[in-house]
Amino acid sequence: MIYLITNRHLAGVEAFEEVVLEAIDAGVHGVILREKDLPENELSTYAARFKKAMRPYQKLIVHSSTGAALSAGADGVQFSYADFMALDEAQISQLLEDNHLVLGVSVHAVEEALSAAQHGASYLLAGHVFDTDCKAGLPGRGLSFIQDLCQAVNVPVIGLGGVTPENVESVIQAGAAGAAVMSGIMASEIPYAASEAYLKGCPRSL
């Protein structure tokens, strides 16, 4: 799978919606709407527009805002590790069973992955795999990090950080169910073509 993580500041606020819609049209398997500085009503508006444009196999995940996800009919919510672990069993059960949401959790270590999976995570967003300008000065954890996570947990792992069309296949070969991309699509002059380039190395699998 290829998941697009949004960043309207990379795309330019005026072009933001069109960039995401182009990626959806190209066939990315999911969009993680990560605009944490937007108020919930604006986040819900974007989420509803993107969800409406999606095909049945495509998933819309809203980062950090359960309210926006529910109001827009999104498929799930992406949590930081700390925020997810702060939820109790009843809250997680309500989100999973009553609201039918997919729950993603961002992790940066095998220990976090194990804890999140045991706590009820639907999938793990793991990074950063390769060196990336988004984490300047911090070396990537490498493909062995993805291999270790995939061996340790029984939920899908999505790798992110420095993923390019040239190395995305290696992330899948390391055991990941998919890869997440931000700047490679959001900052592209031709987001449709950029999305297609990533998809060639990462078939739909979830």
Q: What is the mean pLDDT of the chain?
A: 95
Percent of the chain with pLDDT over 70: 96
Average pLDDT over residues 14-20: 97
Tens of pLDDT, residues 21-39 = 999 999 999 999 999 999 9
> pLDDT at position 140, please?
84
Q: Say yes or no to pLDDT of 94 above 90.
A: yes
**pLDDT-based confidence at residue 83 (cuts at 50, 70, 90):** very high
Q: Say yes or no to pLDDT of 132 above 80.
A: no
> pLDDT at position 98, please?
96
> pLDDT at position 151, please?
97
> pLDDT at position 7, please?
97
Q: What is the pTM of this model?
A: 0.94
**pLDDT-based confidence at residue 205 (cuts at 50, 70, 90):** very low
Cβ-Cβ contacts under 8 Å for 116 (sequence gap 6 or more)? 81, 84, 85, 105, 107, 124
Q: Say yes or no to pLDDT of 113 above 60.
A: yes
CA-based nearest residue to 125, from 80, 150, 159: 159
Distance (Å, rounded) from C-alpha 101 to C-alpha 11?
Answer: 28
Q: Are 179 and 146 in contact (CB under 8 A)?
A: no
Distance (Å, rounded) from C-alpha 73 to C-alpha 89?
Answer: 23
